[in-house]
Structure 1
Amino acid sequence: MRERKLYTNNPMYGGGGGMYDHQMLWSSHPFAHPSTFDTLAVDPALRDGVRADLLRFVRRREHYARAGRAWKRGYLLHGPPGTGKTSLIAAIANLLEFDIYDLELTAVGSNSDLRLLLASTRPKSLIVVEDIDCSLGLFDRTRTSSPGQDDEFDDPAGTPRPLRMSPYPPRGRERISLSGVLNFVDGLWSSCVGERLIVFTTNHVDRLDPALLRPGRMDRKIELGYCKAHALRVLARNYLGDDDRGPADDCRYEKLIGEAERLLEEVHLTPADVAEVFMGCDGDGAPAALQKLVDDLNSKRIARKCAVSNNDG
C-alpha cells in the first residue's frame, strides 16, 4: 500500500559530497499514471515479451548475485514521437510497483554530481532519461559528421537537435561527459542500489554512440512503431468502449475498423495521432469516431499519392 513517487532531480552544480541527502537532491510527487500493459497500444508479442522479461528480472536477485552482476537492467525505448514510450514507462512502473526517478541530465553539473544522484536513489525504482540524444549530444563518435548535417531535412519542424559538446569543459565547472554517463549506467557506482531499471528513450537511435548501446548497459532495445491493427483495436477499446452497441452498430464498427486497419498499412499514423482523433469524437459514438479516422486516413493517403506524383513529375 506504499504510495509510489515520481521524482525529479533538483539543479545542482559544483559537487556536494556527503552534504546532500535524498530530499535535497530529488523533488517528489505522487505517481498516479493510469497506463498498464492492458492499455498499451503495441504489438501483443512485444507487450507480452516485455512483461515476461520484467517479471523474470525481479525474481532473479540470487541469480544476479551468483553471477557477480549488479541487480539492474537497462532498457532503450526508441521510435518516432507519439509511439508510446512514456506510456510504456508508466506501465512498467505500475506492473512492478516501482518509483520513477525522472533524471534531467541538463540540470546536473558534473560527473561527480551524477554519481551522487545515482547513489541517492532507492531500490525498486526506474531511473528514466527521456530523449537521451537531445540531453547532452551523446551522439555516435564514429560518424564523420554531427547529427543535423547529414539528415538536416529528415525531421519534422521543431524536432530538437542534439546539443554539440566541446571536447573541453567550460571554465570553472566540469560538465557531464559520455564517459560519465557510461559509468553511471554500468560502472562501479551503478551497483550501489539494487533492484533497479535504467530506461533511456530516443527518437533517433542511430545518433547514439555504440558504447551506450552494448549489452550490460542497454540490455534490451525496444522499438515502438506506428499504429497497426492490434494497436488500433486497443485504442478503440480504450477510447470508444465496446458496450451498448446493437447488431447493426457492431456490423458497421467491424467494417470501419477493418477499413482503418487497411489504410494504416499505407499511411503512417502514431498511436498518439489516432488517440487524438478519438478524443475529438468523444460522445459521438464508436462508428462516428471510426468514420472520422477513416476519412482522415483517406485524405492523408490521397495527399501522399499527390506528393509522390509531383516529385516524379
Structure 2
Amino acid sequence: MKNKVKMELVLDWKSLGSLLATFMFIRAAIYDFMPPEVYQFLKLLFSKVFISLQPNMTILIEEFESSLNNELFDAAQSYISTKCLSSARVLKLSRPKNFKNLTFTMSTNQTFEEIFEGIKVKWSFYIIEKKTNNNGYRASLENRYFELSFHHKYKEKVQSAYIPYVIEVAETIKLKNRERKLYTNRSFGEDGRYWSSVPFSHPSTFDTLALDNFLKEDIKADLTKFIKRKEFYSRVGRAWKRGYLLYGPPGTGKTSLIAAIANFLEFDIYDLELTAVRSNSQLRKLLISTSSKSVVVVEDIDCSLDLSDRSKKASTAEENENDIEEGKDKAHGTGSSNSNISLSGVLNFVDGLWSSCGGERLIIFTTNHKEKLDQALLRPGRMDKHINLSYCENDAFKMLAKNYLGIEKHELMKDVEEVLPRIKMTPADIGEIFMGCEEDADMGMKRILEKMVEEKEKQCRLNIEDSLINNEKKPGAE
C-alpha cells in the first residue's frame, strides 16, 4: 500500500500580498492582446486558487451601521464578556447602568479563541480613530469593531449555528445581569410616560414560599414549559403569553406567589391599577408599552371593576336599570367617574389583537371571590391556569416554621399537624404569630398550638350554633 502524503501550503499575509501584486502585473501586461473569453476564464480560475490558498475568513461586526447602533455588536460584547477572562491579557472592568454584576470586556487589540462544535473561532477587538471635518472643525471619532475569524470551509455553520448561539447567550446574559423593575401605571398626562418604576427586590422565592409542595412543583413546571415553547406558540398561531388566576381568601399568599414567579422567571413586574385608567384605549396603550419577559399583574380584579358574571346580572337587570348611575360608580371600585373601562376592554386587553404585541408575557389576575367573575374572563386563552390558594396546610406550615423559627422538626409538630386541617388559618395568620416569638422555636410552637386549639373550639361553637339555627328553620320545628 502506498503511503499517502498530505501537503498543506501555508502562506502568510506578506506572501499573499506578493502573489496578488504579481497577478495584477501579469493581468495588466496580457490584457491588451489576450482574447476576452480566455481572460475571464483565467481570472475566475485564479480567484478560486487564491481563495483556496487563504484558509481563514473574517467577519467584521462594527458598533454602528448607518449611524444606528448595531445590535450584533452589543450581543458580541455581552457574549465575549463571559469568555475573555480566560485568554485575553488586558481587560476592562465596568458595571453598566441597570446591571447587577460586574462586566469584563476586552481592551483594544486583544484576542481570544474558543472551540464551537469542533470549529475553532477567534475573536479580536479593534478601535480605529477617524478624523472628521464638520463646519471647519476637526474631530476624532472612534470606530469600534470585532473581528470573527474562522476557516472558510465552516462559513455555513458559523452563519447558521454559531452566530445565532452567540445572540442567544448574549440575551440570556443581559437578562440575568439587568436590574429588574417593578412598574406602576401613572396618571396620564404626566410627562407623557405611561409607567414609572422602582428596582424590584422582593425576597420571595419558591424555596421560601409557604405552599403545598405538589402545587409548588406544578407551577414551576408550567412556567418552565411556557418559556421554552416560543416555536410551539408560533406554530399553533397563538400569542406567546399565558394567563394565571390566583384566587382564595385574603392572607393566603397571592402576592408572595407573584413575586416568586417573577424571581423564578427573572421577569419585570407591571402592577396595573385599573382605577387609574380612564378608558379602554388607554388600557391598550398601557399594554403595548410593556416589555417582553414581564409579568402584568392586576390584583383584586373584582374590586377594581364590575366584572361579575353576566348570567347572574340578567336576573337582577330590572333592579339595576333603576339605579344605573350608582351601579357605574360601584363598577370602578373607588367610585371614580373618570374610569370607563368595560368588560369588553378587559377581555381585549387579555386576549385581543393587541395582546400579541411583545412576547414571553404572563398576565396574572388575583381575586378573593372567583365566583363573582364573568365566565368569559375565566376561559382558557385568557385565564389559562386557575390556582386556588386556600388556608394553611401541613407543607405550608413546615415551611413557615423553617423560615421564621429555623426548625424542621419539633415535639409539638405532630399535634399541630392533627389540628391544622380542622381549622381555617392563613399563612399570614401563622406568620404573624411567629413574628412575635423572636425566633424562639419552643415559644413559637407553643403559641401557635394554643391559637389553633382556640380556633378549633371557636369553629365547633359556630358549627353547633349553625346547626341549631337550621333545625329551627325546618318545617314542623317547635
Structure 2 residue runs without a partner (length 5+): 1-176, 320-327, 469-478
Deviation at 1:43, TM superposition (A): 1.0
TM-score, structure 1 as length reference: 0.84
1:135 matched to 2:312: no
The one-letter code sitting in structure 1 at the alignment partner of 2:197 is S
> How far, CA to CA, are the matches of 1:306 and 1:175 in structure 2?
46
Distance 2:275 2:372 in 1: 18
SS state of the match for residue 109, structure 1? coil
Deviation at 1:310, TM superposition (A): 3.9
Paired residue for 2:349?
184
Aligned to 2:50: none
Alignment partner, residue 280 of structure 1: 436
Distance (Å, rounded) in 2 between the aligned partners of 1:298 and 1:53: 37
Tell me the residue number matched to 1:66.
235
Judge conservation of contact 1:111–1:176 (CA < 8 Å) in 2: yes
Give yes or no for the alignment of 1:126 onto 2:295.
yes
Query: For the pair shown, which has the larger CA radius of gyration, 1 or 2?
Result: 2
**Kept in 2: contact 1:98–1:124 (CA 8 A):** yes
1:61-104 deviation line (CA, Å, top 9, x unaligned): 11111111110000000010011100100000000000000000
CA deviation string 1:209-229 (max 9, x = no partner): 000000000010000111011
2:151 paired residue number:
none
The answer to which of 36-45 and 179-188 deviates more is 36-45
**Hey, what does 1:227 align to over in structure 2?**
392
Distance in 1 separating the partners of 2:384 and 2:364: 10
Counterpart amino acid of residue 8 in structure 1:
T
Deviation at 1:311, TM superposition (A): 4.2
**Whole-angstrom CA distance in 2 between matches of 1:268 and 1:59:** 38
RCO comparison, higher one (Cα < 8 Å, 6+): 1
Check if 1:7 corresponds to 2:221: no
- 2:448 equivalent in structure 1: 293
Give the 3-state SS of the residue equivalent to 2:208 in structure 1. coil
Q: Which residue of 1 aligns with 2:92?
A: none
Gaps of 5+ in 1: 150-161, 244-249
How well do the aligned residues superpose, as a CA RMSD in angstroms?
Answer: 2.3
Contact 2:276–2:339 (Cα < 8 Å) also in 1: no
Q: CA deviation at 1:308?
A: 3.0
Matching of residue 87 in structure 1 with residue 282 in structure 2: no
1:134 and 1:163 in contact (8 A); partners too: no
Tell me the distance in 1 between the aligned counterparts of 2:403 and 2:352: 41
Moved over 6 A (4+): none
Distance 1:188 1:305 in 2: 53
Listed one character per residue, the Cα deviations across residues 44-69 of structure 1 (whole Å, up to 9, x for unaligned) are: 11100100110111111111111111
Partner of 1:97: 266
Question: Does the Cα contact within 8 Å between 2:351 and 2:381 map onto a contact in 1?
Answer: yes
Following superposition, the deviation at residue 312 of structure 1 comes to: 4.1
Secondary structure of the 1:143 match is helix
> Do the aligned partners of residues 177 and 227 (structure 1) sit closer, same or farther apart at CA in structure 2, a change above 3 Å counting?
same
In 1, distance between residues paired with 2:329 and 2:225?
37
SS at match of 2:424: coil
- Tell me by how many angstroms 1:174 deviates: 6.9
CA gap of 1:133–1:163, structure 2 versus 1, over 3 A, is farther
Moved more, 291-300 or 99-108: 291-300
3-state DSSP of counterpart to 1:182? helix
- Report the CA distance between 1:193 and its aligned residue: 1.1
CA deviation after TM superposition for structure 1 residue 309, in Å: 3.1
In the superposition, relative to structure 1, how do residues 176 and 240 fare at CA in structure 2: closer, same or farther (>3 Å)?
Answer: same
- Counterpart selection for 2:380 from 187, 207, 215: 215
Identical residues among aligned pairs (%): 56
8 Å Cα contact 1:111-1:174 kept in structure 2? no
Q: Shift in Å at residue 164 of structure 1?
A: 3.3
Q: Secondary structure at the match of 2:239?
A: coil
Q: 1:153 corresponds to which residue?
A: none
